[in-house]
Amino acid sequence: MEKLGRNDQCWCGSGKKYKSCHMAIDEKIHYYELQGHIVPDRDILKTPEQMEGIRESSKINIAVLDAVEKMIGPGVTTEEIDQVVYNVTTQMGGIPAPLNYEGFPKSVCTSINEVVCHGIPSKDRVLQEGDIVNVDVSTIYKGYFSDSSRMYCIGKVSPEREKLVRVAKECMDLGLAQVKPWNFLGDMAQAINDHAKANGYSVVVDIGGHGIGLEFHEEPFVSYVTPAGTEMLMVPGMVFTIEPMVNAGTCDVVVDDEDGWTVYTEDGKDSAQWEITVAVTKDGYEILTY
Ligand code: MF3
Ligand code: CO
């Protein structure tokens, strides 16, 4: 890493002098690093220009989920959801990030009931009254990535499913409340995990969230089961997802060996997930997708 003088231009592209921009933050990061904490590399901290690109991408991401919200319901196939995601994304000038991502065949993930994540849309899967569905939309716009997902209850669902969907959202919100500079990702994780456990649920260990912005999945891997005070230090300019997968039963999951994508709960019980993209700001967070 280049050593900057106090009066040099800051590395972040703000145009300001280093001493009146990132110098104090860099010193603070270094202090935590000396104490043995995991700290972010400079290259995952977004510049103001990159933040603006991610915001634009996020606007499309949200508009796509809003469009899904209008058409989803009993009798709709997950293939029809996929078509809406593809059409709205491309009409707004974006690209659906999942399409052809490591061979993923569709534009969106649709994960129903005991499917934890990465469900593949299909013309054969008709949504039924009582289903709970996660629709996970990821968007590329001018090279910038955004990611969010929502749960939809199809018609009237059982009180058990309704509660799982509600608690999964509460987990995300409680995690979000922990996002501010000089907290740790583990602070967020513990808030999430504690709330899931208090409701008799478990949080998936094997799959987590991720940094995002210039790539679909960037450093760091974001766990939602690690203890407070551990994992990466939160620093202004970090952008990552909050997307805990909350299971009604055990946290164990299995991947479908036929399609190589669909992740199920091992015990066949239900799973729910909400996802947002957030940035760490000077004094808290900015929600990019919701
Ligand atoms: N959207 C998922 C996430 O939250 C990733 C899906 S990868 C795909 O990280 F290929 F299945 F789309
Ligand atoms: Co994600």
Question: Contact 261/118 with Cβ under 8 angstroms?
Answer: yes
pLDDT band at residue 14, thresholds of 50, 70 and 90?
Answer: confident
Look at ligand 1, atom 11, and give the residue with the nearest C-alpha: 118
- Is there an atom of ligand 1 within 6 Å of 186 CB? no
Which ligand is the nearest neighbour of the Cα of 117? 1
The angle subtended at Cα 224 by Cα 222 and Cα 229, nearest 5°, is: 85
pLDDT at 2: 64
Look at ligand 1, atom 8, and give the residue with the nearest C-alpha: 98
Residue 222 alpha carbon to ligand 1 centre in Å: 14
- Is there an atom of ligand 1 within 6 Å of 131 CB? no
By most ligand atoms within 8 Å of CB, the mutation choice from 102, 118, 288 for ligand 1 is 118
Look at ligand 1, atom 9, and give the residue with the nearest C-alpha: 209
pLDDT at 13: 83
User: Omega of the bond prior to 220 within 30 degrees of 0, cis?
Assistant: yes
- Is there an atom of ligand 1 within 6 Å of 231 CB? no
- Residue 199 pLDDT more than 90? yes
Q: What is the pLDDT of residues 145-157, one digit of tens each?
A: 999 999 999 999 9
Question: Among the atoms of ligand 1, which is closest to the Cα of residue 261?
Answer: 11
Residue 107 alpha carbon to ligand 1 centre in Å: 10
Residue 275 alpha carbon to ligand 2 centre in Å: 7
Q: Which carries the bigger pLDDT value, residue 138 or residue 15?
A: 138
Q: What sign has the CA pseudo-torsion 209, 101, 70, 66?
A: positive
Look at ligand 1, atom 7, and give the residue with the nearest C-alpha: 98
31/237 Cα distance (integer angstroms)? 18
Contacts 24+ apart (CB under 8 A), 151-154: 151/272, 151/273, 151/274, 152/68, 152/69, 152/72, 154/72, 154/73, 154/74, 154/127, 154/128, 154/129, 154/130
Q: What is the pLDDT of residues 102-143, one digit of tens each?
A: 999 999 999 999 999 999 999 999 999 999 999 999 999 999
Question: Contact 148/289 with Cβ under 8 angstroms?
Answer: yes
Residue 241 alpha carbon to ligand 2 centre in Å: 6
pLDDT at 126: 98
Whose CA is closest to 81, among 148, 140, 136?
Answer: 136
Whose CA is closest to 136, among 214, 207, 184?
Answer: 207
248/201 Cα distance (integer angstroms)? 5
- Is there an atom of ligand 1 within 6 Å of 101 CB? yes
Residue 101 alpha carbon to ligand 1 centre in Å: 8
All domains of the chain in start order, with CATH: 40-289 (3.90.230.10)
Question: Contact 171/195 with Cβ under 8 angstroms?
Answer: yes
Question: pTM of the predicted model, to two decimals?
Answer: 0.96
- Is there an atom of ligand 1 within 6 Å of 275 CB? yes
pLDDT at 33: 97
- Residue 259 pLDDT more than 90? yes
> What integer is the mean pLDDT of 258-286?
98
Question: Among the atoms of ligand 1, which is closest to the Cα of residue 241?
Answer: 4
Question: Among the atoms of ligand 1, which is closest to the Cα of residue 217?
Answer: 9
pLDDT at 207: 98
- Is there an atom of ligand 1 within 6 Å of 136 CB? yes
Q: What's the chain's average pLDDT?
A: 97
Question: Contact 98/121 with Cβ under 8 angstroms?
Answer: no
